[in-house]
Structure 1
Amino acid sequence: MKGRTMKLIELSEVEILIMKSIWKLGDGITVYEIIDYLDQVYDRKYTRSTVKTYITKLKKKDL
């Protein structure tokens, strides 16, 4: 990509897991579906508030 620069965005481990969950589950999913997926697939238990906070951070990073 001549003349263009790419910006690398750092993500926390939890942000990466949430992004993987969203990619796997697809559009139109709910926070509760993400919470269930994180619990079932990654054995991670997060509250609705925690997941929403991370989603807000991801949105601020334009993801």
Structure 2
Amino acid sequence: MFLENGFFPHNKFWKYIVGSILIILAATIGQIPLAIAVAFKSFSSGKPYPTTDTGMMKFYLQI
């Protein structure tokens, strides 16, 4: 039953590609504000830019 739904004519492969590209773009655009904030804090405080995900999440909260 579930597999039969994939063969309907309205399920075009290009729609899956466009949806995947939109999700990748949204995730990339969503990271930009955090990267800008961490870069600004890094340059203003003189601390090195963090190289790990955990370091980046904790960096902005450090005093």
What is the TM-score normalised by the length of structure 2?
A: 0.25
Q: Which has the larger radius of gyration?
A: 2
Higher-RCO chain (CA-CA 8 Å, sequence separation at least 6): 1
Bigger fraction of residues in helix = 2
